Structure 1
């Protein structure tokens, strides 16, 4: 749609900086709109209105609503990866690392459930190039957890027959929190994180 439009030099410079205040406001507006209406039902006009801009103002920073979806997905996955790396690095053993990872990841999916749902369930609406980029980040996230499980098996702390399948199960548990979580439920994100940390350890130590 925008490939046929001429773009001023200033617009090109701004579009290269997704961290600007206006771009950040657009990302927040897109997250709200995608969460409320879904990607396909959301228009750039919807996003612009929520951000207090004209529809043309969106294109100064993002070439399309798909690019907004990609930026949300990329930032979400990068935050998750960095969070898990930090949780693992601060632990003194594989058991402590896995407990920290599961607690942190599950809590994050409750605290940021709206964005997490977009990241997980609108993935198919990304372009092939953007899907590949996000898949690369998912592999990095998977590697953090897989390395911890592998280390736990090596030290004898974990009893796991299939490390890749167990890693997938652990991550699926945490990610699924975004699907069912609702702020109206009595369980807090912190309580959910503690419960899933225990469940994760049970999964790898069951005999």
Structure 2
């Protein structure tokens, strides 16, 4: 069955569904082959659409990557916001955020490999947008580490280096995590939260 733009163009749901299918197919293809190793035909085949359909919905393969990267980083920021309680003690806040950050990267490990490891394929303006969100993630976590240092809860020599180490650990989960592993995403969150607390000299 042909799933092209000519099918029922009056239905606004169809273009949205087609875009979603192409984005899902692109995530799978980029995660498996890398951005440079993926063709638009790979994406179209994964979505069970024609190659021409890709360009109906996206101007380029890079635009697909940017939408995936933008949505992925926004999801991480949302996960941090949902987990964080600004009125809580720094230790409780750090534990909750690292848990949420790690669990997200385990649960969304396929997309996480694309979002975090294909940055160099983004166009300069798109890369600037994504890097601004990455800096904001770092800023939020570092502020909690600094708060813990300030009130004596944490013993940390360099808050930025410690923050980067914590985030790098969580990001790397997406590279190797698989559903048939020993730990669930939630258990990975617990494990990495404990590691983070040890990194700041707290328990």
User: What TM-score range do you get, normalising by the shorter chain?
Assistant: 0.7 to 0.9
- How far apart, in 2, do the equivalents of 1:160 and 1:109 lie? 25
Alignment match, 1:173 = 169
- How far apart, in 1, do the equivalents of 2:84 and 2:51 lie? 43
Select the residue among 63, 66, 76 that pairs with 1:67.
Answer: 63
- How far apart, in 1, do the equivalents of 2:87 and 2:119 lie? 32
Alignment match, 2:78 = 82
Question: How does the TM-score come out when normalised to structure 1?
Answer: 0.86
Alignment match, 1:24 = 20
Matched, 1:135 2:131: yes
Select the residue among 89, 99, 115 that pairs with 1:93.
Answer: 89
Point out 4+ residue stretches in structure 1 off by more than 4 angstroms: none
- How far apart, in 2, do the equivalents of 1:97 and 1:91 lie? 9
- How far apart, in 2, do the equivalents of 1:194 and 1:37 lie? 31
How far did residue 89 of structure 1 move?
2.8
Instruction: Name stretches of at least 5 consecutive residues in structure 2 with no aligned partner.
Output: 1-8
CA RMSD of aligned residues (A): 1.8
Instruction: Name stretches of at least 5 consecutive residues in structure 1 with no aligned partner.
Output: 1-10
Question: How many pairs align?
Answer: 190
| 8 Å CA contact 1:109, 1:175 repeated in 2 | yes
